[in-house]
Amino acid sequence: MTSASKKIRLILSLRQSGIIDTALLTAMERVPRELFVPEAFSDRAYEDTALPIGHGQTVSRPRIVAQMIEALDVDDRVKVLEIGTGSGYQTAILSHLCRRVYSIERHRELLRGAEQRFTALGRRNITTRAGDGWRGWPEQAPFTHIIVCAAAPEIPPILSGQLAVGGVLVIPVGDERHEQRILRVTRTEDGLDTHDCGPVRFLPLVEGMPVAPGASGQAESR
């Protein structure tokens, strides 16, 4: 089966699983997932499964990516903050749906690879930085939409504080030993309203930056 056939089969399976946003499915069809996974896994790019991308990280399974973006409910007028660029797969999809994507990744090598892919694909509405996702991107706040690609033990106050009133945060909440849930959090004049979008399994959202080789336990500078 060709990559094109596998992609069509994946899109059909996403639709059958309940993903009905046509713009989202079109964006996923336009993004070549095989470019966002290591070459050794390129033949599995259109399986609905998470795949390793190095540094102990994975690219999420397409169904979870679709579910979280659909919950985010974006359009081409908004700017989105993404925590966890990874290989850039979800970022690229968002770039087809939003006015601008601001994406943070703590692993500089992963970020460099993602930036090269964005350039190769001509995605010019993505702004990236290497940094601590727990801190968000205060210089660009407030955001109407924030999506987090790692699980936090609770809703991070700094991130919810960077939401505009009426803004939406989609985030997995829970730890690795217990059940995690995707939460859709809406900021209101009075606080936060949360909606449970179902179970999920993500790596933890880690504070700080990775330790640079030979740095004797000192974190990398930002």
Cα distance between residue 132 and residue 94, in whole Å: 21
Task: Give yes or no: 60 in active site.
Answer: yes
DSSP classification of residue 72: H
List the catalytic residue out of 3, 5, 42, 60. Answer: 60
Q: Which two tokens stand for residue 14?
A: 């996403």
H helices, E strands: number in the chain = 6, 9
**Torsion sign over Cα 13, 69, 94, 204:** negative
Cα distance between residue 14 and residue 125, in whole Å: 26
Q: Is 208 helix (H, G, I), strand (E, B) or coil?
A: coil
| Burial status of residue 139 (CB atoms within 10 A of its CB: 0-12, 13-18, 19 or more) | exposed
DSSP 114-183: HHHHHHHHT--SEEEEES-GGG--TTT--EEEEEESSBBSS--HHHHHTEEEEEEEEEEES-TTS-EEEE
Cα distance between residue 129 and residue 85, in whole Å: 9
Catalytic residue IDs = 60
